[in-house]
Amino acid sequence: MTPAAISFRNDYSEGAHPAILEALSRDNTRQEPGYGDDGPSQRAAELIRLSCQTPHAEVHLVSGGTQANLVVCAALLKPFESIIAAETGHICVHETGAIEATGHKIHQLPHHNGKISSDQIRELVQKHVDEHMVRPRLVYLSQSTELGTIYSREELTSISQACRELQLYLFMDGARIGSALTSEASDLSLADIAQLVDALYIGGTKNGALFGEAIVLCSPHAFPLFRHHLKQRGALLAKSRTLGAQFEALFTDGLFMTLARHANRMAMSLAAGIQELGFQFAYEPLTNQIFPIFPKHVITELSKSFSFYVWSPHDSDSDVVRLVTSWATIEPSAEAFVTRLRSLVGARS
């Protein structure tokens, strides 16, 4: 009998961390108000404000990332205003036109390792001069990016300054912000980021929750009546305690960071093993998504025991592969992967 393949396809393959499930059970029959007015949501919001060091921020919990992205963007923009993003940005490719469905254009800028620069932003804004063109008004960044890389303090500060000069809002998609913050290469804290952006969302789904993302409005004055937007887009959960309890647990005793750090550690363990065997990476391995380059026949063999995405072609003989780890990845899985890879390399040479 063949054992089930170990999956490195993504960071939402497992359920929730036990502390999250425990939080959902606790006080289960206690009556609570709905739509975010419940105790757990209120306490989670306060804990997140503390972590962000933003006492005046608004925190809203929603069920998914596409929802968070589309509500924030639609709330900030007038009909003729547009969004600037890296062409690799999640909103450009993998959200089925969710942003455009709210009526707004996205300018897709060429990326460098999944990132854009303040210079690119300035140049684009300068080209949009009159009423025959949309008006760029919002910059969207992912942290960590879709390619596993992260914006440094210098890069993010430079973008933030450009945004303020150019009267652009800055929004960070933090579906994987945990992995970014706990990367060994990171020089940014959550509080640093909260200072530099107008809004961000903190991803729960990909960091141990059953589901849920926490939208943090660092510049709440830019988002009048935000709950109206949430409700209109179907993003206000009736039994909101379900979200509140999870984020309360994640932001108690540092659980959020602990889980993200574990995921990164598993990725670094994989990366070290892969590198040692002489393979290159398409992008520097920094967080819980890594992108090694493997010969096609190696990929074919690996696929028999492990599940992962073949990301893009590299050259005629080899492809880039994406491996993702999570809070639930265990050391033996990473070891099994490297062991199998080693055996394939040995077989090859």
Hey, which residues between 189 and 218 contact a copy of itself (CB under 8 A)?
Answer: 205-206, 210-211
Per-residue contact track with a copy of itself, 263 to 302, x per CB under 8 A?
----------------------------------------
- Interacting residues with a copy of itself between 160 and 189 (CB under 8 A): none
Minimum distance from CB of 111 to a copy of itself (Å)? 15
The residue among 81, 85, 57 whose CA lies nearest residue 69 is 85
Residues 314-333 that bind a copy of itself (CB under 8 A): 328
Neighbouring-strand partners of residue 173: 142, 201
| Whether residue 144 has a cis bond before it, omega within 30° of 0 | yes
End-to-end CA distance of the chain: 30
Residue 155 binding a copy of itself, by CB under 8 A = no
User: Residue 59 in contact with residue 45, Cβ under 8 Å?
Assistant: yes
Using CB under 8 A as the binding rule, whether residue 66 contacts a copy of itself is answered as yes
The DSSP letter of residue 100 is: G
Q: From CA 316, how far away is CA 295, in angstroms rounded?
A: 9
Closest contact distance (angstroms) between CB of 322 and a copy of itself is 15
Say whether residue 33 binds a copy of itself (CB under 8 A): yes
Q: Please, which residue, 94 or 122, has the CB nearer to a copy of itself?
A: 94
What is the greatest pairwise CA distance in the chain?
67
# residues contacting a copy of itself (CB under 8 A): 78
Residue closer to a copy of itself by CB (options 30, 56) is 30
- Contacts of 50 by beta carbon, 8 Å cutoff, 6+ apart: 251
- Establish if 232 lies at the interface with a copy of itself (CB under 8 A): yes
> By CB under 8 A, what part of segment 72-111 binds a copy of itself?
74-75, 78-80, 82, 93-98, 100-106, 108
* 193: its two tokens: 């980021």
Q: Which of residues 113-152 bind a copy of itself (CB under 8 A)?
A: 131-135
Query: What is the smallest separation between the CB atom of 278 and a copy of itself, expressed in angstroms?
Result: 29
Distance, in Å, from the CA atom of 161 to the CA atom of 171, rounded to the nearest integer, reads 13
Closer residue to a copy of itself (CB): 20 or 274: 20
CA 100 to mean position of chain CA atoms:
20
Strand (E) positions, 74-205? 81-86, 106-109, 135-142, 169-174, 199-203
One residue of 32, 46, 192, 284 binding a copy of itself per CB under 8 A: 32
